[in-house]
Amino acid sequence: MSEHAVVVHYHEIGLKGRNRGFFEKRLVDNLKAVVDDRVESMSGRLLVHTDGPPEGFVLDAIGRTFGIASYSPALMVSADIDVLKQTAVEMMTSREFRTFAIAARRATKDFPLTSRDINVELGAAVQAATGAEVDLDEPDVKLRVEVVGKRALVYADRFEGPGGLPVGVSGKVVSLLSGGIDSPVATYRILKRGAKAVLCHFHSAPFTDTSSERKAEELARIIATWQGPTTLYLIPLGDAQQQIVVSAPPELRVVLYRRLMVRIAARVARTESAKALVTGDSLGQVASQTLANIACVDDVAPLPVLRPLIGDDKQEIVRLAEKIGTYETSILPFEDCCSLFVPRSPATAASIESCNAGEAGLDVEALVQSCFERAVVSRIATEGLRRTA
Ligand code: ATP
Ligand code: MG
């Protein structure tokens, strides 16, 4: 009797010594959240049990779960050489190929045959049934067998997982999500390192239309397919921007908007118990992303500001945006709050002193509190989402 399952091999978490149990548990929980609890930990790998051949949404969900190195739809049978031979022949006769190899491994050593013996026996059986040749170096199909205790897993396809660490093992961050290309990619990069991201989008409605909010929601939905249920804060900045316009020099507006965003995001971080902020800045990409301006922003940040894209070229960022599925949404037109009331040539080298002077006439604390209080918070569930992805 054979059963269907997806064999999941993990990534670096296998290497993390003392933390391993913690990481593995988080990976199991993250997987359970999307594949209905049918996850079993089995001697250094995970099994996701399915009723028949795994459906597309199950494979898709597994393929978006950080911490996974590779995954393979498999048949699980009893660890018995005759059963293995029969299974190998059945699986291989349903495929077209010229050359093949068998690659057996024993996770537990109580099986009476060595891995080599299994390779030879199954190889001979498959050869007899199909007439195909064995090629150990570059086979068209490699049939893998993993013997684990009284069970064995047999599979021929292996898909690459997203790698990284399971979301949640690195704690929580607040990611500043604009409607652009970069910040969703920055968020993805930090999720990949095991952080859970709360998303924070600033908009200028009613001074602008609501296109940026709708965009942020759509991007949040895509990010949720990578990290699971996602919290999104939509924060109105327009009134505060108006006050900055009245009291500070025009060329400082962009950097002062940014300083305000970072302070409000830090307020969100306090509420959410997040330990760092994340932005999509890439050094020198635009006027607001010079070292001088980054220094002005970080000067008012009460917690670390992580910038995963700081050394990336736009092309690399675009490529990743396409891969993770945010690009098409990011390039839709929208009214960006940062371009509201902004002169043609914003300062590229603002100084901390000039920023402080520009803010002298403002009650910054009150502005932060007022924006924070008017935030609209939504929780984007992944229930049903990954199923339809
Ligand atoms: P992006 O493509 O992410 O919009 P960008 O190249 O347009 O980035 P900026 O507009 O200078 O660069 O923004 C730099 C970073 O500041 C963004 O990546 C984002 O993290 C943050 N940010 C900018 N605008 C907003 C906003 N309206 N809401 C939230 N965060 C923002
Ligand atoms: Mg932008």
Give 18-59 pLDDT, tens digit per residue.
678 889 999 999 999 888 768 999 888 999 999 999 999 899
Mean pLDDT, to the nearest integer, of 187-209? 95
249 belongs to a structural domain? yes
Domains identified in the chain, total number: 2
Enclosing domain of residue 71: 3-160
The reply to whether 140 and 187 lie within a common domain is: no
Give percent of the chain with pLDDT exceeding 90.
81
> At 343, is the pLDDT very low, low, confident or very high (cuts 50, 70, 90)?
confident
| pLDDT of 109 strictly over 90 | no
d(CA 42, CA 10): 12
In a domain, 91, yes or no: yes
Q: 197 and 224 in contact (C-beta within 8 Å)?
A: no
178 touches ligand 1 (CB under 6 Å): yes
CATH, residue 251: 3.40.50.620
If asked whether residues 241 and 360 sit together in one domain, one would say: yes
Structural domain contains residue 165:
no
Is 120's pLDDT higher than 70? yes
In a domain, 43, yes or no: yes
Domain final residue pick, 160, 189, 206: 160
Q: What is the pLDDT of residue 2?
A: 87
Where a domain ends, among 115, 137, 160? 160
Q: How far is CA 87 from the centre of its chain?
A: 36
In a domain, 166, yes or no: no
Of the pLDDT bands very low, low, confident and very high (cuts 50, 70, 90), residue 16 is low
Please tell me whether residues 225 and 303 are part of one structural domain: yes
Q: What is the DSSP string of 376-389?
A: EEEEE--TTHHHH-
CA distance 129 to 140: 16
Residue 382: band (very low, low, confident or very high) from pLDDT cuts 50, 70, 90? confident
Q: Decide whether any atom of ligand 1 lies within 6 Å of the 201 Cβ.
A: yes
Query: Which residue has its alpha carbon closest to ligand 1 atom 24?
Result: 178
As a whole number, the mean pLDDT across the chain is 92
Atom of ligand 1 at shortest range from CA of 235: 28
**Does residue 142 sit in the same domain as residue 186?**
no
Residue 167 lies in a domain: no
Structure confidence at residue 35 (pLDDT): 85
* Residues 233 and 150 placed together within one structural domain of the fold: no
220 is written with which tokens?
Answer: 């949040």
Question: Does 78 score more than 90 pLDDT?
Answer: yes
Indicate whether 155 and 272 sit together in one domain: no
- Assess whether 131 and 179 both reside in one domain: no
Q: Is 112 helix (H, G, I), strand (E, B) or coil?
A: coil
364 Cβ closer than 6 Å to some ligand 1 atom: no
Q: Which of 113-127, 286-300, 352-366 has the lowest mean pLDDT?
A: 286-300
Specify the higher pLDDT residue, 99 or 288: 99
In ligand 1, the atom with minimum distance to the C-alpha of 212 is 27
Range with the poorest average pLDDT among 12-16, 301-305, 337-341: 12-16
Q: Based on the fold, state whether residues 126 and 253 are members of the same structural domain.
A: no
Q: Which ligand is nearest to the CA of 308?
A: 1
Q: Is 176 a pocket residue for ligand 1 (Cβ < 6 Å)? A: yes
Residue 39's pLDDT is what?
A: 94
No. of helices (H) and no. of strands (E), the chain: 14, 15
Identify which of 176, 254, 310 to mutate to test ligand 1's pocket (most ligand atoms within 8 A of the CB): 176
Tens digit of each residue's pLDDT (9 = 90 or more) over 264-311: 999 999 999 999 999 999 998 776 789 999 999 999 999 999 999 999
The pTM of the full predicted model, rounded to 2 decimals, is 0.93
Question: Is a pLDDT exceeding 60 seen at residue 385?
Answer: no
Which residues have CB less than 5 Å away from ligand 2 (the ion)?
178, 180
Query: Is the N-terminal amide bond of 206 cis, ω within 30° of 0?
Result: yes
Name residue, tokens 């940040």. Answer: 301
pLDDT in tens, 219-264: 999 999 999 999 999 999 999 999 999 999 999 999 999 999 999 9
Q: What is the CATH number of the domain that holds 128?
A: 3.30.2130.30
| Ligand nearest to the Cα of 279, by number | 1
Domain stop point among 160, 193, 208: 160
Same domain (yes/no): 147, 233: no
Check whether residue 202 and residue 127 sit in a common domain.
no
Inside any domain, residue 15: yes
Q: Is residue 312 part of a domain?
A: yes
The pLDDT tens digits of the residues spanning 57-72 come to 899 999 999 999 999 9
205: nearest Cα among 235, 175, 162, 180: 235
- Which residue, judged by its Cα, is nearest atom 26 of ligand 1? 178
Q: Are residues 195 and 150 in the same domain?
A: no
* 388 has a pLDDT exceeding 60: no
Where do the H-state alpha helices sit in 228-311? 238-247, 253-272, 291-298
- pLDDT at residue number 119: 97
Mean pLDDT of 156-169: 95
**Nearest alpha carbon, ligand 1 atom 31:** 178
Decide: 335 and 205 in contact? Cβ < 8 Å. no
- The two three-digit tokens of residue 260, written as one number: 């305000």
Is residue 349 predicted with pLDDT exceeding 90?
Answer: no
Residue 318 has a pLDDT of: 98
Distance 299 CA to ligand 1 centre (A): 18
* pLDDT for residue 387 is more than 50: no
Beta bridge partners of 174: 198, 277
Locate the DSSP E strands across 150-296. 151-155, 159-163, 172-176, 196-203, 230-236, 276-278
Q: Are residues 156 and 179 in the same domain?
A: no
